[in-house]
Amino acid sequence: MKLGLKPNANYGNLKDSYLFFGISKKVTAYRAGHPDLPLYRLGIGDVSRPLCDAVIKALHDAVDDQARKESFHGYVPECGIPEFRSAAAGYYARRGVTPDPEEIFVSSGASDELGDILDLFDPSSPALIMQPAYPAYVDASVMAGRRTLFLAAGPENDFLPMPPDHTEAELIYLCSPNNPTGAVYSLEQLQAWVDYANRHGAVILFDAAYEAFAEGDMPHSIFETKGAETCAIEICSLSKTAGFTGTRLGYTVIPKALERNGMNLNAMWVRNRTTKTNGVSYILQKGGIAAFSEEGLKQIRENILIYKQNAKVLTEALDSADVRYWGGKNAPYVWMQCPKGMKSWDFFDLLLHEIQVIGTPGEGFGACGEGFFRLSSFGDPEETKIAADRLRKLLANL
C-alpha cells in the first residue's frame, strides 16, 4: 500500500506569494521591459549603507581567529557566546534596562525569530495582530494553523490602537516604532499594553527591530515599562540598527520571570535552541559585539542619521504636495495616504511606470492598509532625493 505523506494544509490558506517576493517579481518584469531606465528603490526596508568600520574590523579579525589553531572556534554556545550576550545586555543598560545576559539569546535576525518563537506556544492559542502589520506575523501564524484576531489601526487612533476591552487572544504582537506605519507608542501606552497582558495572562511578542530610530523620550524597549518581565518577549535585530540585513544577526530577550502554566519560557527557549540550532556563527557574533562597542555605536548612529535625513527629504516632498502621512520621525518608514482615493496597488503601478519609484502598497500589510502606501528611507541619499523630486512633481500634476 502506498502511504501518502500529508503536507501542512495550512499553507493552502496563505496568499500566493509573500509581499516582498511578489513585489520583487513585478519589479523584475518591469526592468526586463525597460532595461535602460534607472529604478529608485523605496520599497523593502533594506539598508544601503555598508557595515561600519568597527564591525568590518571585528569581522576580519574573527576570520583570522578561525585561521589559527589557537584561536579557532568550532561549535559555539547555541544561545549566544557569553561576550555577545553581555554586550547586548550592556546596550540595554544604557537605557536603565538591566537584563541578565542569560535572558538574551542570539538569533539570525528578527524575521527568522518571529516565526521560530511560535514553537513556545500551543497552536490553539489565538494571536492578536494589529493591522496594518508586518506580513510575516500573519503568515507565520497561518502556517502554524493559529487563529488570528485583528485589531484595526488607522488615522482615527494615529495607527496606535490600545488594548481592547476583551479579547480571547493569548499572544499579542506589538511593533514600535511600527512597521509599516512609523507610529511609535509612548511609555504610558506601552504600560497599558503590559498591564493588560499581565491581567489577562497573555504574552506580548514585542518587535523592536526599529528601536534605534526612536527619539527623545520614546521607549526603545518594552522592558522600560513596569511588569514586562512577566508578560513580554522582545525580538531585536541588528539589521536596521547596524546594517546587518545581508549579514543576519539579532537577539531575543526572554525574561527568566516569564512563566505560563508552570512552565518557564526562558528555560523552554534554551531547550529549543540547543535542540534546533547550533547557534550563530562566531564571526558574526564578533561583528555584533563590535556594533555594541562605544566606537561601533557612534558609527552606526551616523548611518541612522543619514536614513533619518532621507525620511526628511521624503516627508518634505509630501508636505509640498499637501499629502497626509505618518511616521518618518521615529521610524525609517513614511506611511502616506494614496492621493485621490487611489487603491494602493494602483498607486504602486503608477509610481513604477511613470517615475520608476518603487514603494510598498499598504494593502500588502493587511486590509486596513488599503488606501495607504509605504516609503522606506533606507535608500541611497542621492537616489532618495531624485525619487522625492519625481514624487513631488507627479503628485502636483495628478
| Contact residues for ligand MLT, defined by CB under 6 A | 44-46, 111, 134, 179
Which residue do the cell numbers 526592468 mark? 31
CA distance 360 to 95: 33
Say if CB 51 and CB 242 are below 8 A apart. yes
Q: How far is the CB of 304 from ligand MLT (least distance, A)?
A: 15
Q: How far is the CB of 145 from ligand MLT (least distance, A)?
A: 23
Residues 6+ apart with CB under 8 A from 151: 128, 129, 130, 131, 161, 164, 167
Q: Please, which residue, 179 or 247, has the CB nearer to ligand MLT?
A: 179
Q: Please, which residue, 120 or 375, has the CB nearer to ligand MLT?
A: 375
Q: How far is the CB of 179 from ligand MLT (least distance, A)?
A: 5
Q: Is the CA virtual torsion 374, 378, 382, 383 positive or negative?
A: negative
Q: Please, which residue, 179 or 225, has the CB nearer to ligand MLT?
A: 179
Q: How far is the CB of 48 from ligand MLT (least distance, A)?
A: 12
Q: How far is the CB of 19 from ligand MLT (least distance, A)?
A: 8
Q: How far is the CB of 345 from ligand MLT (least distance, A)?
A: 16
Q: Please, which residue, 270 or 304, has the CB nearer to ligand MLT?
A: 304
Q: Please, which residue, 259 or 383, has the CB nearer to ligand MLT?
A: 383
Nearest by Cα to 232 from 207, 213, 210, 211: 207
Q: Please, which residue, 142 or 268, has the CB nearer to ligand MLT?
A: 142
CA distance 348 to 345: 5
Q: How far is the CB of 396 from ligand MLT (least distance, A)?
A: 27
Q: How far is the CB of 239 from ligand MLT (least distance, A)?
A: 6
Instruction: Give the nearest residue (CB) to ligand MLT.
Output: 45
Q: Please, which residue, 111 or 191, has the CB nearer to ligand MLT?
A: 111
3-state SS track over the chain: CCCCCCCCHHHHHCCCCCHHHHHHHHHHHHHHHCCCCCCEECCCCCCCCCCCHHHHHHHHHHHHHHHCCCCCCCCCCCCCCHHHHHHHHHHHHCCCCCCCHHHEEEECCHHHHHHHHHHHCCCCCCEEEEECCCHHHHHHHHHCCCCEEEEECCHHHCCCCCCCCCCCCCEEEEECCCCCCCCCCCHHHHHHHHHHHHHHCCEEEEECCCHHHCCCCCCCCHHHCCCHHHCEEEEEECHHHHCCCCCCCEEEECCCCCEECCEEHHHHHHHHHHHHCCCCCHHHHHHHHHHCCHHHHHHHHHHHHHHHHHHHHHHHHHHHCCCCEEECCCCCEEEEECHHHCCHHHHHHHHHHHHCEECEEHHHHCHHHCCEEEEECCCCHHHHHHHHHHHHHHHHCC
Q: Please, which residue, 40 or 134, has the CB nearer to ligand MLT?
A: 134
Say if CB 153 and CB 369 are below 8 A apart. no
Q: How far is the CB of 134 from ligand MLT (least distance, A)?
A: 6
Q: Please, which residue, 304 or 321, has the CB nearer to ligand MLT?
A: 304
Q: How far is the CB of 136 from ligand MLT (least distance, A)?
A: 7
Q: Please, which residue, 134 or 347, has the CB nearer to ligand MLT?
A: 134
